[in-house]
Amino acid sequence: MRIGKVIGTVVATRKDPRLTGNKLMLIQPLDVNQKPIGDVIIGVDTVGAGVDETIIFTKGTAARLGANKPEAPIDVAIVGIVDSIDLV
């Protein structure tokens, strides 16, 4: 998993029907100091994440499991909302 921030959404009316019902969130990966790092990706929300929230996202088969859609063409999902990042 990685830490990220929801920075917006993508609208797509023509899409795989199995993506219907999932908001497509733009996720900016963050480092532990919550600074942007790496490329923005698109993930489905599974925990009611809102724009500007710091979240946990997962990739690959884990994303379909998070979305409870094992047959959907999903490879990134938001699976948690961060309360705090506790460094040593």
Applying CB under 8 A, the residues found at the interface with a copy of itself are 1-3, 7-16, 18-19, 24, 26, 29, 31-32, 37-43, 46-48, 51-52, 56, 58-66, 71-77, 79-88
**Nearest distance from C-beta of residue 56 to a copy of itself, angstroms:** 6
Q: Least distance (Å) from a copy of itself to the CB of residue 46?
A: 6
Nearest partner of 25 among 13, 47, 9, 36, judged by Cα = 9
Q: Is 81 helix (H, G, I), strand (E, B) or coil?
A: strand
CB–CB of 67/76 below 8 Å? no
The structure tokens listed for 9 are: 């959404």
Beta strand 24-29 with 76-81 is: unpaired
Q: How far is the CB of 60 from a copy of itself (least distance, A)?
A: 6
